[in-house]
Amino acid sequence: MKFILEKSKYLALIGVISLLFAAVAAFLWGTFKTVNTIYLVFSSVGMDRSIAVEFVEIVDGFLIATAVLIFSVSLYELFIGKLDLPDWMLAHNLYDLKTKLSSMIVLVMGVKFLEKILDVKDTNDLLRIGIATALMSAVLIAFGYFGRKD
């Protein structure tokens, strides 16, 4: 039984490989968005009001891709073995991994709220979305700040 339990750590490879494929897909998605945004800039001669948000979304997309890559390599290092990568690229325990995920969620919510600001039709709706975004961000930030058990 001990042998089986010790070797079960390799089940984490399913997550590692899946996340690696997801990271590749996210980088390709970011590249596609970049090409489309460059086309928008030139076709609208820079006059489209959504260009600034499009550029923020590009950065957001690549940050998500990078985070997924970090999750993949961190899972490998946590369960399988050491990797020769910069320390900032690795989470050294599951808490660090969850903290990185919560930070990513806050960033994505901020970008999505920025998109809503440009498409606002009902200011009350925007206010509710803003309050919900702020509350969720505060909870996730508090988790990262107060949640660590040393």
pTM: 0.78
Q: Would you kindly state where each structural domain of the chain is located, as residue ranges?
A: 1-91, 93-150
pLDDT tens readout for residues 57-83: 898 899 889 989 999 999 999 899 888
pLDDT at 17: 97
Token output for 150: 């040393």
pLDDT tens readout for residues 121-139: 888 888 888 999 999 999 9
Q: For residues 117 and 112, what is the distance between their CA atoms, to the nearest angstrom? A: 9
